[in-house]
Chains A and B, each alone.
Chain A
Amino acid sequence: MKPILEIQDVGKKYRIQHMAGGYLSLRERMLSTLKFARNEVEDFWALKDVSFNVQPGESIGIIGRNGAGKSTLLKILSKITPPTTGKIISRGRIASLLEVGTGFHPELTGRENVFLNGSLLGMKRKEIEAQFDEIVDFSGVEKFLDTPLKHYSSGMQLRLAFAVAAFLEPEILIIDEVLAVGDAEFQKKCLGKMENVSKSGRTILFVSHQLGMVGQLCKTAILLDKGEILTQGKVDVVINQYTQYLSNGNEYVNQDATQKTAYFFQSIKSLSSNLKAVSAFAHNEEIVLEINFMAMQRLKNTHLLVAINNKNGQRIFSSDISLDDYDIKVNAVNFAYVTLPAETITPGNYSFFTAIHSPNAIGYDVKDNVCPISVYDNGSAFTQYENKWFYGDVFVKCSWRIK
């Protein structure tokens, strides 16, 4: 079967003009021509040699940092802007949702906007009429259908806009981050609708920063960086690589060479379960903290404490172990590894609190807010909970009994 979309060596060059003022004015143009002095122009490649194929029915996630070229790629695929190099062959009707509610006008009523927006998205009037009741039903604003849009709350506007978009039935659907807005329940509804779309054999290209959503919706993904494809492949592999390269060194290293307390930390770093240094973890991965400490003396009743702070710096739980039963080398480096079970802390940003102490007596060395890590959702079972409510920082697998 031929690919439904072939992207061959596509590149996009923008000229950045180094001058004041937003847009060109004729005067500036004429002046620069007269003076034979070109405005300082710099070429900027927003996209470079991007090639990939999309098979019918495939859902591809496109991820990357801001400015990686994701939106430019989608704009080229949606024919909004032409590529500077390369070519694209498509075999099917493309609809792109780079924004919800494109063309919505505040003076028009909800009903009128549905028709306007739908037809802008490429739906025929007959198609809109046929699905009108379903669209309205999906949006849940039937009471206000004949009210001008300017009297809608922003949430209602979004719902209406999503509802129109949800009923698009192209062979290829291009979606840019649009689901990042709107309330969680409605998002879920849209995600469900999109899953149906992809299951019904249509092709989806999906850009999002919500990695969990990408993971859930897409089987394969492309990682863009500085306009080029860094990796492409199975979605979890690509997401993993993306988060690896997002995370830079978070290791704590003791800089004070003169430290002479009985115990002190030399270095602390977070590791994956296969002991590679990383700072971003999937929700379903174990988090290992490697603590490297010096013991200058051997003192009784010494404990090692590790606690986790959430993004607000609040301690969410601790784990403590007595070192008395272990063979601790004096005047040498000791290694402690503590493993946080997978699926414990919910997606978000955290840091560690570590202490070597004698409980309620003395703290030999205390380090707070070290080793920042982030936990992300990669489309695991947790995705079903994502964004719905705030679940707290710890998701505990309690034992349940239901009678």
Chain B
Amino acid sequence: MTEPEEHTIDSSHRGFFNWKELWLYRELFYFFTWRDIKIKYKQTVLGFLWAILQPLLMMIIFTLFFGRVLNVPSQNIPYPVFVLSGLLLWNLFSTGLTNSANSMVSNSTIIKKIYFPRLIVPTSSILVSLFDFLMAFALFILLLIYYQQPVGWNALLYWPLALWISVIATLGPGCLLAALNVKYRDFRYVIPFLIQILFFLTPIIYPVSMLKYPLLQYVLVMSPMYAAVELFRFPLTSEEMNLTFLFISLASGFLFLILGILYFKRTEDFFADFA
């Protein structure tokens, strides 16, 4: 018989990041995500179609108000394409952030009764929105065909990249808010505002170039989602990107990621006591 592996729980010395354990529990990522997707569309007549309908309706509304009535410029591509390209990633961010921020509280009954790496919970919530993204992406492709919008080959590089950046930009604040929410339920009320504000601060319905004040531009590009949206649109517009802006946005995304995971790991041991 081989000597079984030794595990130690030591009150004076807590482990930090355990990749091996996360790998061991990898199936739970799948099960949590799968559960949430299933539940999300249970007892709906249209089912998964909602993942397409929601962005479609938003796109129509924004096109009517901003594209037609206010004539917002759209970097030389049709406004519906412009706004949907932004909304795709934005929805990933906003639903991912909302769900992951509430994930620890809504799964508290499980957390109090069973051990598994807690990081799986907020991460899976984001993976659920990734599924919605893929559905909406199909709509986006149809729209591109409808408008006969030329797309550069570099999309094969930029779109997955933009997707990754979005996930990272969501994961950081998501973990941070999830951990804070366990202890202070106030954040439940803060999150919708936060997302609303960020929506207007991120160039989804307007291009950054529309802003005349350079200082304001610098503030806007601090949104972690700025880089994702810009990179995603690049194969469509071929407009030159402002590398400084990109860098600021990316740096802010990674900063939040580190901050979020650090805070989450620091407090996760006590989730069961507070949840």
A26:B186 contact, CB within 8 angstroms: yes
Contact call B113/A99, Cβ cutoff below 8 A: yes
Residues on A with C-beta less than 8 A from B183 are 23-24
CB distance from A204 to the nearest CB of B (A): 17
Evaluate contact between B184 and A25: CB separation under 8 angstroms: yes
Measured in the bound complex, the distance between the Cα atoms of B5 and A89 in whole Å is: 10
Size range of the chain B interface in the assembly:
35 or more
Within 8 A of B (CB), among A82-98: 82-92, 96, 98
Binds A, one of B38-46, B72-80, B139-147, B152-160: B38-46
B110 proximity list for chain A (CB < 8 A): 102-103, 120
Among candidates B3, B9, B35, residue contacting A82 with C-beta atoms closer than 8 Å? B9
Q: Are B27 and A124 closer than 8 Å at their CB atoms?
A: yes
Q: How far is the CB of A126 from chain B (nearest CB, A)?
A: 9
Q: Is the CB of A23 within 8 A of B185?
A: yes
- Establish whether residues A85 and B4, one from each chain, have CB atoms under 8 Å apart when the complex forms: no
Given A76-B9, A87-B11, also A102-B109 (CB < 8 A): yes
CB distance from B243 to the nearest CB of A (A): 39
Q: Which of B54-62, B88-96, B163-171, B265-273 contacts A (4 or more CB under 8 A)?
A: B265-273
CB of A88 within 8 A of CB of B31, answer no
Q: Which of A85, A86, A96, A107 contacts B42 (CB 8 A)?
A: A107
Please tell me if the beta carbons of A80 and B11 are within 8 angstroms of each other in the complex: no
Report the separation of the CA atoms of residues A88 and B184 in the bound assembly, to the nearest whole angstrom: 31
Among the 9-residue stretches A108-116, A262-270, A369-377, the one with 4 or more Cβ atoms under 8 Å from chain B is A108-116
Chain A residue with minimal CB distance to B110? A103
Nearest chain A CB to B36 CB, angstrom units: 10
A75 lies within 8 A of chain B by Cβ: yes
B43, closest chain A residue (CB): A107
Contact with B along A110-141 (1 / 0, CB 8 A): 00100110011110110000000000000000
In whole angstroms, what is the CA distance A116 to B31 when docked?
6
Given the known A-B contacts A78-B114, A108-B39, are A89 and B14 also in contact in the complex, defined by CB atoms under 8 Å?
A: no
Assembly CA distance A170 to B111 (angstroms) = 20
> Within the complex, which residue of A25, A90, A124 is in contact with B7, where a contact is CB–CB below 8 Å?
A90
Complex Cα distance, B7 from A88, in Å, reads 8
Bound CA–CA A25/B5 (angstroms) = 42
Q: Which 3 A-B pairs have the closest CB atoms?
A: A79-B115, A87-B10, A26-B186
Could you list some 12 contacts between A and B, CB below 8 A? Answer: A23-B274, A25-B186, A75-B272, A79-B115, A80-B272, A85-B12, A88-B10, A89-B6, A91-B6, A112-B38, A120-B28, A124-B27
